[in-house]
Structure 1
Amino acid sequence: MPKKSADSDRTTGAMVPTTGEIEARLLVLDMIAASATVRLLRLHDDLEKSELIAQILHDIDFCCRSRGLHFRDILDAQGYAEELLKDAQTQADGLDDIKHAYINRK
């Protein structure tokens, strides 16, 4: 949405996103990440899953530090990632249960 100047009806060239647009984009990113993570976790064995999760947490730490985030923010980001990964693993396990139940159905 164009930003209007306070003293005129003209709009400036800069586009300022609304809070709703930002929230919608974050929601889309969150949904895409969760969906992709569920599928990814279904394809790996337990050792590979542990290595994958450790690598993701390491990458978050590295990216946050390189951008100058505070230690508390880095821990919060890693905690959020762990929650997403835990939820994704639960969903992936549920999909496997459904798949195996359907295959064993006569």
Structure 2
Amino acid sequence: MPKIKGQNSSDKSSATAPTIGEIEGRLLVLELVALSSVSRLLRLHDGKEKADLIAEMLRDIEINCRKSGLNFRDIIDAQSYAEDLLKDAQAQADGLDDIKHAYPKTKTD
């Protein structure tokens, strides 16, 4: 990992900059965790609750983006990305239900 040089390069407390690969890896992990978690959450809710949950998530994204000082275009892009993630999560949740119902129930004593 490359070191970030400050004003005093002899500082032992100089920070190290993450590589692009490390950043992409972390983003990928966050996306996979989010998809997995949300797909399980969406599977447990009915249609009205899902719509309310998604609307609340999008509202929270807007609020947090505004607090962070993002411009309007960036907020719209963040919400669009979140909607894509939620659609993928819903597809995964539907797939989980398909798998669950594909196997016949067996009696266990």
- TM-score band, normalised by the shorter chain? 0.7 to 0.9
CA contact (8 A) 2:4 2:17 kept: no
SS of corresponding position for 2:101 = helix
Structure 2 gaps of 5+ residues are none
* Paired residue type of 2:66: R
Residue correspondence of structure 1 range 22-101 to structure 2 within 5 A? 22-101=23-102
Moved more, 96-105 or 40-49: 96-105
CA distance in 1: counterparts of 2:4 and 2:62, whole angstroms: 39
RMSD: 1.9
- Is the Cα contact below 8 Å between 1:57 and 1:81 reproduced in 2? yes
Say which is worse superposed, 90-99 or 50-59, in terms of deviation: 90-99
* Offset, 1:36: 0.4
Q: Distance in 2 between matches of 1:104 and 1:93?
A: 19
Q: Percent same amino acid among aligned pairs?
A: 63
Runs (4 or more) in structure 1 with deviation over 2 Å come to 10-13
Secondary structure in structure 2 of the residue aligned to 1:103 = coil
> d(CA) in 2 for partners of 1:17 and 1:24?
11
Tell me which of the two structures has the higher relative contact order, counting C-alpha pairs closer than 8 angstroms and 6 or more residues apart.
2
Deviation of 1:103 after TM superposition, in Å, equals: 3.0
Shift of 1:21: 0.7
Task: Write the deviation string for residues 29-75 of structure 1: whole angstroms up to 9, x where unpaired.
Answer: 01100110111111111111111000000000000011111101100
Q: 1:11 offset after TM fit, Å?
A: 8.3
Offset at residue 104 of structure 1 (A)? 5.7
CA distance in 1, matches of 2:4, 2:96: 49
Q: Give the TM-score normalised by the residue count of structure 1.
A: 0.86
User: Gapped runs of 5+ residues in structure 1?
Assistant: none
Return the TM-score normalized by structure 2. 0.84
The structure carrying a bigger strand percent of its residues is 1
